[in-house]
Amino acid sequence: MTDAASSHAPRKAASKSGRTRAREFALQALYQHLVGRNPATDIDVFTRDLSGFHKADSAHYDALLHGSIAEGAELDALIVPLLDRKLEEISPIEHAVMWIGTYEFRHCPDVPWRVVINECIELAKSFGGTDGHKYVNAVLNGLAPTLRAVEVEADRATGKARP
């Protein structure tokens, strides 16, 4: 496999970080919340019992799951102005990925904005529809200058603004 081909291949499970795994489990849990309207505590109990959860960063998972649900209306208020359709028409996977990205922009300053976007693109590629990752990328790139203004501006000054 060439370097170009391997850069687009999904990451092998062994090479995933605890935070990447936390995002994957949070995405699955948020999907359950958005589709089934299941309570966060029920989803949390179920998700923690899934195979491989022990390898996830459970504190990051907790923050993403409970924080995104608690702030869902606020996160949606930030996302909706960047949509080209009604929020109800967005796939629940892409919706949940955008919640994760927006939540991390707001509450996880230790995660660089470009890493947030790249991780969310990978989530959308792995779990979402064919071109869902492009939509997620566009929305999160639209939010970054507002929610991570200093970081984005610093990257623009050095020519690294686009993830």
Residue 163 pLDDT grade (very low, low, confident, very high; cuts 50, 70, 90):
low
Please give the C-alpha separations between residue 91 and each of 85, 119, 133, in angstroms, as whole numbers: 11, 18, 11
Return the domain boundaries, the chain.
16-157
- Give the mean pLDDT of the chain: 89
Segment 73-104, tens digit of pLDDT? 999 999 999 999 999 999 999 999 999 999 99
pTM of the predicted model as reported, rounded to 2 decimal places? 0.87
Is pLDDT larger for residue 34 or for residue 11? 34
73 CB-near residues (< 8 Å, 6+ apart): none
CATH topology of domain 16-157: N-utilizing Substance Protein B Homolog; Chain A (1.10.940)
Q: Using an 8 Å Cβ cutoff, are 124 and 94 in contact?
A: yes
Q: Using an 8 Å Cβ cutoff, are 135 and 79 in contact?
A: no
Say which amino acid occupies 143. Answer: L
Measured CA to CA, the distance from residue 82 to residue 77 in angstroms comes to 10
Query: What's the pLDDT at 2?
Result: 39
Segment 13-32, tens digit of pLDDT? 557 899 999 999 999 999 99
Tally of CA atoms within 13 A in the half-sphere of 136 that contains its CB: 32
Residue 129 pLDDT grade (very low, low, confident, very high; cuts 50, 70, 90):
confident
Q: What is the DSSP letter of 14?
A: G
